[in-house]
Protein backbone atom coordinates (compact mmCIF):
# COMPACT_ATOMS: atom_id res chain seq x y z
CA UNK A 1 0.00 0.00 0.00
CA UNK A 2 1.31 3.45 -0.89
CA UNK A 3 2.36 5.64 2.00
CA UNK A 4 -0.21 8.13 0.76
CA UNK A 5 -3.16 5.74 0.53
CA UNK A 6 -6.12 6.86 2.63
CA UNK A 7 -6.55 5.09 5.96
CA UNK A 8 -8.92 2.15 5.58
CA UNK A 9 -12.40 2.79 6.92
CA UNK A 10 -12.90 1.50 10.45
CA UNK A 11 -13.83 -2.16 10.18
CA UNK A 12 -17.45 -2.92 10.92
CA UNK A 13 -17.58 -5.23 13.92
CA UNK A 14 -20.93 -6.75 12.98
CA UNK A 15 -21.52 -10.13 11.40
CA UNK A 16 -25.26 -9.55 11.17
CA UNK A 17 -27.53 -6.52 11.15
CA UNK A 18 -28.76 -5.47 14.58
CA UNK A 19 -32.45 -4.55 14.62
CA UNK A 20 -33.59 -2.39 17.52
CA UNK A 21 -37.23 -2.82 18.51
CA UNK A 22 -39.39 -1.35 21.26
CA UNK A 23 -41.97 1.29 21.95
CA UNK A 24 -41.87 4.95 21.00
CA UNK A 25 -39.51 6.70 23.41
CA UNK A 26 -37.49 3.58 24.24
CA UNK A 27 -34.39 5.24 22.74
CA UNK A 28 -34.01 3.14 19.58
CA UNK A 29 -32.74 6.01 17.42
CA UNK A 30 -30.54 7.70 20.02
CA UNK A 31 -29.01 4.49 21.32
CA UNK A 32 -28.87 3.05 17.79
CA UNK A 33 -26.71 5.90 16.53
CA UNK A 34 -24.26 5.49 19.38
CA UNK A 35 -24.22 1.73 19.06
CA UNK A 36 -23.42 2.04 15.35
CA UNK A 37 -20.60 4.42 16.14
CA UNK A 38 -19.18 2.06 18.78
CA UNK A 39 -19.26 -0.84 16.29
CA UNK A 40 -17.95 1.09 13.27
CA UNK A 41 -21.23 0.18 11.56
CA UNK A 42 -23.63 2.19 9.39
CA UNK A 43 -26.85 3.38 11.04
CA UNK A 44 -30.31 3.32 9.45
CA UNK A 45 -33.69 4.35 10.78
CA UNK A 46 -36.71 2.70 9.17
CA UNK A 47 -38.95 5.76 9.73
CA UNK A 48 -36.44 7.97 7.91
CA UNK A 49 -36.19 5.51 5.03
CA UNK A 50 -39.99 5.30 4.68
CA UNK A 51 -40.23 9.11 4.76
CA UNK A 52 -37.53 9.37 2.11
CA UNK A 53 -39.24 6.81 -0.13
CA UNK A 54 -42.61 8.56 0.26
CA UNK A 55 -41.20 12.07 -0.08
CA UNK A 56 -42.98 13.19 3.11
CA UNK A 57 -42.53 12.85 6.85
CA UNK A 58 -44.22 10.16 8.98
CA UNK A 59 -47.09 12.34 10.30
CA UNK A 60 -47.89 13.39 6.70
CA UNK A 61 -47.92 9.75 5.56
CA UNK A 62 -50.39 8.88 8.34
CA UNK A 63 -52.51 11.96 7.55
CA UNK A 64 -52.64 11.65 3.77
CA UNK A 65 -52.13 7.95 2.98
CA UNK A 66 -53.24 6.37 6.26
CA UNK A 67 -51.65 3.97 8.71
CA UNK A 68 -52.19 0.89 6.50
CA UNK A 69 -50.09 2.46 3.73
CA UNK A 70 -47.42 3.38 6.27
CA UNK A 71 -47.32 -0.23 7.52
CA UNK A 72 -46.96 -1.56 3.96
CA UNK A 73 -44.09 0.82 3.32
CA UNK A 74 -42.53 -0.11 6.64
CA UNK A 75 -42.56 -3.82 5.82
CA UNK A 76 -41.11 -3.20 2.35
CA UNK A 77 -38.38 -0.86 3.55
CA UNK A 78 -37.25 -3.15 6.36
CA UNK A 79 -37.19 -6.14 4.02
CA UNK A 80 -34.93 -4.15 1.67
CA UNK A 81 -32.66 -2.91 4.47
CA UNK A 82 -32.17 -6.46 5.73
CA UNK A 83 -30.50 -7.26 2.40
CA UNK A 84 -27.91 -4.52 2.97
CA UNK A 85 -24.52 -5.28 4.54
CA UNK A 86 -24.55 -5.50 8.37
CA UNK A 87 -25.66 -2.28 10.05
CA UNK A 88 -27.62 -1.02 13.04
CA UNK A 89 -31.29 -0.56 12.17
CA UNK A 90 -33.66 1.37 14.44
CA UNK A 91 -37.25 0.42 13.62
CA UNK A 92 -40.51 2.23 14.36
CA UNK A 93 -42.40 0.88 17.36
CA UNK A 94 -44.97 -1.01 15.28
CA UNK A 95 -42.55 -2.69 12.87
CA UNK A 96 -41.82 -5.83 14.90
CA UNK A 97 -45.56 -6.46 15.34
CA UNK A 98 -45.72 -7.48 11.68
CA UNK A 99 -45.26 -11.29 11.50
CA UNK A 100 -43.51 -11.17 8.09
CA UNK A 101 -41.07 -8.54 9.37
CA UNK A 102 -40.41 -10.60 12.51
CA UNK A 103 -39.72 -13.68 10.41
CA UNK A 104 -37.33 -11.76 8.13
CA UNK A 105 -35.50 -10.30 11.14
CA UNK A 106 -35.26 -13.71 12.77
CA UNK A 107 -33.86 -15.23 9.57
CA UNK A 108 -31.18 -12.68 8.81
CA UNK A 109 -30.47 -10.37 11.74
CA UNK A 110 -30.24 -10.16 15.50
CA UNK A 111 -33.03 -8.33 17.31
CA UNK A 112 -32.66 -6.23 20.45
CA UNK A 113 -35.67 -5.08 22.47
CA UNK A 114 -34.99 -1.81 24.25
CA UNK A 115 -37.40 -2.07 27.16
CA UNK A 116 -38.42 0.99 29.16
CA UNK A 117 -41.08 1.65 31.78
CA UNK A 118 -44.21 3.69 31.14
CA UNK A 119 -43.02 6.78 32.96
CA UNK A 120 -39.84 6.90 30.90
CA UNK A 121 -41.72 6.44 27.62
CA UNK A 122 -44.23 9.17 28.50
CA UNK A 123 -41.48 11.55 29.53
CA UNK A 124 -39.35 10.95 26.41
CA UNK A 125 -42.19 11.04 23.88
CA UNK A 126 -43.50 14.32 25.33
CA UNK A 127 -40.40 16.06 23.98
CA UNK A 128 -41.58 15.80 20.35
CA UNK A 129 -44.98 15.98 18.66
CA UNK A 130 -44.08 13.82 15.65
CA UNK A 131 -45.88 10.59 16.63
CA UNK A 132 -49.35 10.42 15.09
CA UNK A 133 -50.49 7.52 17.29
CA UNK A 134 -49.95 9.60 20.43
CA UNK A 135 -52.08 12.46 19.17
CA UNK A 136 -55.27 10.39 19.29
CA UNK A 137 -55.78 10.84 23.05
CA UNK A 138 -53.88 10.84 26.32
CA UNK A 139 -50.31 9.71 25.49
CA UNK A 140 -49.88 7.89 28.82
CA UNK A 141 -53.07 5.88 28.27
CA UNK A 142 -52.12 5.10 24.68
CA UNK A 143 -48.61 4.03 25.64
CA UNK A 144 -49.97 1.86 28.48
CA UNK A 145 -52.30 0.14 26.02
CA UNK A 146 -49.48 -0.35 23.49
CA UNK A 147 -47.26 -1.79 26.24
CA UNK A 148 -49.93 -4.39 27.04
CA UNK A 149 -50.42 -5.22 23.35
CA UNK A 150 -46.83 -5.22 22.21
CA UNK A 151 -44.56 -6.28 25.05
CA UNK A 152 -45.35 -10.01 24.66
CA UNK A 153 -44.26 -9.76 21.01
CA UNK A 154 -41.19 -7.61 21.66
CA UNK A 155 -40.21 -10.32 24.16
CA UNK A 156 -39.57 -12.61 21.16
CA UNK A 157 -36.46 -10.51 20.38
CA UNK A 158 -33.10 -12.30 20.67
CA UNK A 159 -31.80 -9.85 23.28
CA UNK A 160 -33.65 -7.75 25.88
CA UNK A 161 -31.98 -4.65 27.30
CA UNK A 162 -33.50 -2.38 29.94
CA UNK A 163 -33.27 1.29 29.15
CA UNK A 164 -33.81 2.64 32.67
CA UNK A 165 -34.67 6.24 33.35
CA UNK A 166 -31.49 8.26 33.72
CA UNK A 167 -29.22 5.42 32.55
CA UNK A 168 -26.46 7.00 30.48
CA UNK A 169 -26.66 5.96 26.82
CA UNK A 170 -23.07 4.72 27.08
CA UNK A 171 -24.06 2.08 29.63
CA UNK A 172 -26.98 0.92 27.47
CA UNK A 173 -24.62 0.70 24.48
CA UNK A 174 -22.05 -1.25 26.51
CA UNK A 175 -24.69 -3.74 27.63
CA UNK A 176 -25.90 -4.22 24.07
CA UNK A 177 -22.35 -4.78 22.80
CA UNK A 178 -21.72 -7.38 25.52
CA UNK A 179 -24.98 -9.17 24.69
CA UNK A 180 -24.17 -9.10 20.94
CA UNK A 181 -20.79 -10.64 21.69
CA UNK A 182 -22.44 -13.43 23.70
CA UNK A 183 -24.92 -13.98 20.85
CA UNK A 184 -22.06 -14.41 18.35
CA UNK A 185 -23.14 -11.35 16.35
CA UNK A 186 -19.68 -9.70 16.44
CA UNK A 187 -16.63 -10.54 14.35
CA UNK A 188 -13.77 -12.35 16.06
CA UNK A 189 -11.56 -9.86 17.89
CA UNK A 190 -14.22 -7.11 17.85
C1 LIG B 1 -44.99 3.97 15.62
C2 LIG B 1 -43.77 4.42 16.05
C3 LIG B 1 -43.02 5.49 15.37
C4 LIG B 1 -43.41 5.56 13.89
C5 LIG B 1 -44.90 5.69 13.76
C6 LIG B 1 -45.66 4.52 14.41
C7 LIG B 1 -45.66 2.87 16.37
O8 LIG B 1 -41.62 5.26 15.46
O9 LIG B 1 -42.97 4.42 13.20
O10 LIG B 1 -45.28 6.91 14.32
O11 LIG B 1 -46.57 2.23 15.82
O12 LIG B 1 -45.25 2.61 17.53
P13 LIG B 1 -40.77 5.40 16.86
O14 LIG B 1 -40.97 4.13 17.63
O15 LIG B 1 -39.36 5.54 16.37
O16 LIG B 1 -41.27 6.61 17.55
Residue 134 Cα distances to 27, 47, 126, 131, angstroms: 16, 16, 9, 6
Instruction: Give the count of domains, the chain.
Output: 1
Alpha carbon of 47 to ligand 1 centroid (Å): 8
Report the atom number in ligand 1 closest to the C-alpha of 132. 10
Does residue 131 contact residue 26 with C-beta atoms inside 8 Å? no
Report the atom number in ligand 1 closest to the C-alpha of 150. 12
Residue 5 within any structural domain of the chain: no
Residue 113 within any structural domain of the chain: yes
Which residue owns the Cα nearest ligand 1 atom 8?
92
Reply yes or no on whether the pLDDT at 3 is more than 70.
no
End-to-end CA distance of the chain: 24
**What is the extent of the structural domain holding 95?**
27-182
Mean pLDDT within 46-63: 97
Q: Which candidate, 160, 161, 152, 159, places its Cα nearest to that of 184?
A: 159
Residue 3 within any structural domain of the chain: no
Alpha carbon of 5 to ligand 1 centroid (Å): 43
Cβ count within 10 A of residue 146 = 19
pLDDT of residue 154: 98
Q: Which of 43, 47, 153 to mutate to test the pocket of ligand 1 (most atoms within 8 A of CB)?
A: 47
Reply yes or no on whether the pLDDT at 52 is more than 50.
yes
3-class SS letters over the chain = CCCCCCCCCCCCCECCEEEEECCCCCCHHHHHHHHHHHHCCCEEEHHHHHHHHHCCCHHHHHHHCCHHHHHHHHHHHHHHHCCCCCCEEECCCCHHHCHHHHHHHHHHEEEEEEECCHHHHHHHHCCCCCCHHHHCCCHHHHHHHHHHHHHHHHCCCCEEEECCCCCCHHHHHHHHHHHHHHCCCECCCC
Mean pLDDT within 100-109: 98
Report the atom number in ligand 1 closest to the C-alpha of 130. 10
Kindly list the protein residues whose Cβ atom lies closer than 6 A to any atom of ligand 1: 24, 28, 47, 58, 92-94, 131-133
Mean pLDDT within 118-124: 95
Residue 9 within any structural domain of the chain: no
Mean pLDDT within 148-167: 94
Mean pLDDT within 32-53: 97
Alpha carbon of 184 to ligand 1 centroid (Å): 29
- The CATH number of whichever domain residue 153 belongs to comes to 3.40.50.300
Residue 77 within any structural domain of the chain: yes
Among 17-21, 73-77, 128-132, 183-187, which is the least confidently predicted range? 128-132
Alpha carbon of 57 to ligand 1 centroid (Å): 12
Amino acid sequence: MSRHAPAPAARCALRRTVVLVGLMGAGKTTVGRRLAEALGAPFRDSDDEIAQAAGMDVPSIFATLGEAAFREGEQRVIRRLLDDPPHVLATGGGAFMNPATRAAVRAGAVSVWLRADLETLVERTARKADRPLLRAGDPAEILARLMAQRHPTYAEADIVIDSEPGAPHESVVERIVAALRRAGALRAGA
